[in-house]
Amino acid sequence: MRMYNPPHPAEVIKEDILPELGLSVTAAAKQLGVSRVALSRVVNGKAAISADMALRLHLWLGENSPSAESWLHQQADYDLWLASQKGLPDVQPALSILSH
């Protein structure tokens, strides 16, 4: 997987959690109640961690695991980093519109 700063939040699932638990994506998906394809897309950085997936991950990993909010914050950090790599969008500031 290509490394980003910050990394895709699901990288920890692929690199640490699944190996630690000795689980395949298929087995983990079954425990999470999602399709293998859905989990595979997330752990391979092809899909974002949704609010639903964040809740499932927290419930699956237990009380002492990252909260659903933590998973979503990590995803937002990653998404903002990716967007910033494209350069700033061409936006006309609202104040200049309002002053005319």
Task: For each of the domains in the chain, give its residue range(s) and CATH number, in order of start.
Answer: 11-86 (1.10.260.40)
User: pLDDT grade, residue 98 (50/70/90)?
Assistant: low
Chain segment 39-68, per-residue pLDDT in tens: 999 999 999 999 999 999 999 999 999 999
Rg (CA), the chain: 17
- Which residue's structure tokens are 């752990």? 43
- Over residues 64-90, mean pLDDT: 92
Cis peptide before 6 (omega within 30 of 0): yes
